[in-house]
Amino acid sequence: MRKLPINIMALAQNDAQQGSYIVLLKEEGGNRRLPVVIGAFEAQAIAVAIEGVNPNRPLTHDLFKNTLEQIGIKLQEVVISDLRDGIFFATLMCIDAHGDTIEIDSRTSDALALAVRFGCPIATYEFILEKAGVSWQGGSREEEPQPSPSKPVSLSSMPVNKLEELLEKALADENYERAAEIRDEINKRK
């Protein structure tokens, strides 16, 4: 399995699901994006670390980082290692004080919060980007005509080229939930 480096590109509120957020991961040197839905607490933990905010007392992820460091374990890499039934799985790739590799199962949101704190690389596998990634070609940001609320147009009734145009627009508008729906419809047809 080919492992690909990815980076946190954006963190945004998920309008489609109240109380949740989307962390958008970007393929390094590529044009694919991987939208991952996370909870509000995990989004806050990632945002605090990205912004360099130092709370008076350690947050849970800070406590875990401090604990690992005190017992001589270094987080080397976070790998989004699997996707099953629409749920991402992650692995913390660590090195202990003796130089041995330790793999720790983690929720993806927690793994990302730790990756930011440790400043370590994030990666995923090609099959995950193929299955859940959204391709971004850039280009035009022209407004797409929107269906009227009384007559919604089903994605399943649209041709693939129209879906690809809608996908680009959803990504340009940072509407990652919609982009994921469109991506899934395109993938169904392959």
Walk me through the domains of the chain, giving residue ranges and CATH numbers: 3-132 (3.10.690.10), 139-188 (no CATH)
Q: Which amino acid is at 25?
A: L
Contacts of 94-101 spanning 24+ positions with Cβ under 8 A: 94/68, 96/72, 97/71, 97/72, 97/73
Digitized pLDDT (tens) for each residue of the chain, 190 residues in all: 899 999 999 998 888 788 889 999 999 999 999 999 999 999 999 998 988 888 888 899 999 999 999 999 999 999 999 999 889 999 999 999 999 999 999 999 999 999 999 999 999 999 999 999 998 766 443 333 333 333 344 666 667 777 777 887 777 777 777 778 888 778 777 6
Specify which residues 38 forms β-bridges with: 21
CA distance readout (Å), 77 to 1, 128, 141: 16, 17, 35
pTM beyond 0.75: the answer is: no
